[in-house]
Chain A
Amino acid sequence: MTVADRIVVVAASLLVGILFARYWGPAVPAAAVELRSGREVVARYPLDRDRRVDVQGRLGVSVLDIRDGRVRFIASPCRNKVCIHAGWLRHSGEAAACLPNRVSVSLIGGVEAEFDAVAF
């Protein structure tokens, strides 16, 4: 191994370490849900209290169901209902979105395991 080889290996190890620190986390239960309509965060709710939330989106109202520390879409004015089929979300970092209605939810809190940004 030459000096340059060693530098590459050390840099690669650092990169892998950083990736582990950033993205590798056990699935921890989330503490709260963040609701977005378009780019704006319209509300945050803790997951420990059950409730139903209406979120006004571009096409209409999406309905979210928060229960037992989980959240799911139960109604949305879209065609494919991808958001509803996403089902229950419970772990920090998970997300679901109704793209036609521009409404999305992401779970936050817990210990960490949170994304800085998620691109759809």
Chain B
Amino acid sequence: MSDAALTRDDRLIAGYAALAIAIHVLEAGFPSPVPGIKPGLANVVTLIALLRHSWRVAAWVAGLRVLVGSLLVGTFLGPAFWLSAAGATAALAALGLGALWNRGLRRAALSAPGLSVLAALAHMGGQFFVAYRVFVPHPGLLHLLPLLMAAALLFGLVGGWIAAQILARLPPATGASV
């Protein structure tokens, strides 16, 4: 890889991450009926980065978003940060599996909605696991799990739909790998 290619990737990552961070911070300002439920629109950016470029770009975008987003919101190294980090890690793992699936089975490939739902469920699952194991190991928390997962499914579908709409309107990417 030449220096020029690296610079291009870096610029892409910086641009996507800036967008994701802005959405992350805006979302943090919205009240939520149940802690842990929010639309997660910042993940749409991760998804677009994955589908137009690569998992590597998506991982950088998500990582930077969690790090810088938490610094700006003021939750860095607090419980919310760890939950966010666990969620993002799980979602990236799910997206990685999805990308692998697509590489192996091109004819039955996942597109934005499927990947978004996978990532959203993984995000909520990872977050819930850390919350339950580390912060509040109370069985009552399990009662919330169905509600949280249902919200994840809903917002995953919405996010996937938004990503598909945006992708359809963007000019074709160069070097898409998924």
Contact = CB atoms under 8 A, between A and B. Distances in A.
Given A19-B145, A19-B149, A1 B117 contact: no
Interface residues of A, number: 26
Interface in B123-168: 137, 139-140, 142-143, 145-147, 149-150, 153, 156-157, 160
A6 B117 CA distance: 10
A20 B150 contact: yes
Nearest to A106: B139
A95 B143 CA distance: 14
Contact of B118 (A3, A8, A22, A95): A8
B108 A4 contact: yes
A1 B165 CA distance: 12
On chain B, which size bracket covers the interface? 20 to 34
B143 A2 contact: no
Nearest to A118: B139
B110 interface: yes
Q: Which 4 A-B pairs have the closest CB atoms?
A: A5-B114, A8-B114, A19-B146, A20-B146
Interface of A: 1-9, 12-13, 15-16, 19-20, 22-25, 93-95, 115, 118-120
25 contacts: A1-B111, A2-B109, A2-B114, A4-B111, A5-B117, A7-B114, A8-B113, A8-B117, A9-B114, A12-B117, A12-B153, A15-B121, A15-B149, A19-B149, A20-B150, A22-B146, A23-B142, A23-B143, A23-B145, A23-B146, A24-B146, A24-B147, A25-B143, A119-B137, A120-B137
